[in-house]
């Protein structure tokens, strides 16, 4: 009987959590997640545009070349344009786009390098932990924000 009461109390507490967060002004909302994504992408875009060799040399054993600098700069322009586009969308569409973007970049970049999904790369640690932790962190924030509504 006590186990049943404990189970019911736990289920009730879990069900009421979003309400409690909303009343206290806590929690994570979709607009905040979009802003967090734009801050993260802004830092990456600035590095890609201004010091592209740094991204290459910090994250991979293979040293930067003129061609990698060229590619990183081009990607930086695309990231900056995507950030601007997120600010022009309504919150719901910006949130969906941001979450798809983070998931896509997570697969194409840090997890591609970590798990050799599309090739073999020699990533450099500890710096490569940053995107490996950042991407699921942003996705988790998005999951929480999506459940709060």
Question: Among residues 65, 66, 56, 70, which one has the least CA distance to residue 121?
Answer: 56
Per-residue confidence band for 15, with pLDDT thresholds at 50, 70 and 90: low
- Helix or strand holding residue 2 (H, E): helix 2-24
Burial class (CB in 10 A: 0-12, 13-18, 19+), 11: exposed
Q: Which pTM does this prediction carry?
A: 0.81
Cα–Cα distance measured from residue 50 to residue 46, given in angstroms and rounded to the nearest whole number: 6
Q: Give the tens place of pLDDT for each residue, 71-89.
A: 999 999 999 999 999 999 9
- Cα separation values, 44 from 16, 21, 54, 80, 106, Å: 38, 32, 11, 9, 13
**Confidence check: pLDDT of 19 > 70:** no
Angstrom distance (rounded) from CA 100 to CA 102: 6
Closest Cα to residue 96, out of 27, 47, 39, 145?
Answer: 145
């Amino acid at each position: 009987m006590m186990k049943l009461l404990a189970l019911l109390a736990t289920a009730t507490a879990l069900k009421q959590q979003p309400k409690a967060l909303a009343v206290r002004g806590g929690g994570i909302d979709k607009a905040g997640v979009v802003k967090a994504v734009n801050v993260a992408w802004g830092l990456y875009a600035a590095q890609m545009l201004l010091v592209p060799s740094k991204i290459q040399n910090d994250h991979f054993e293979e040293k930067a070349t003129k061609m990698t600098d060229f590619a990183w700069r081009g990607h930086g322009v695309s990231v900056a344009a995507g950030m601007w586009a997120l600010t022009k969308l309504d919150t719901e569409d910006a949130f969906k786009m941001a979450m798809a973007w983070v998931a896509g970049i997570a697969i194409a970049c840090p997890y591609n390098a970590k798990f050799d999904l599309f090739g073999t790369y020699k990533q450099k640690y500890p710096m490569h932990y940053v995107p490996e932790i950042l991407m699921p962190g942003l996705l988790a924030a998005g999951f929480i924000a999506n459940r709060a509504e």
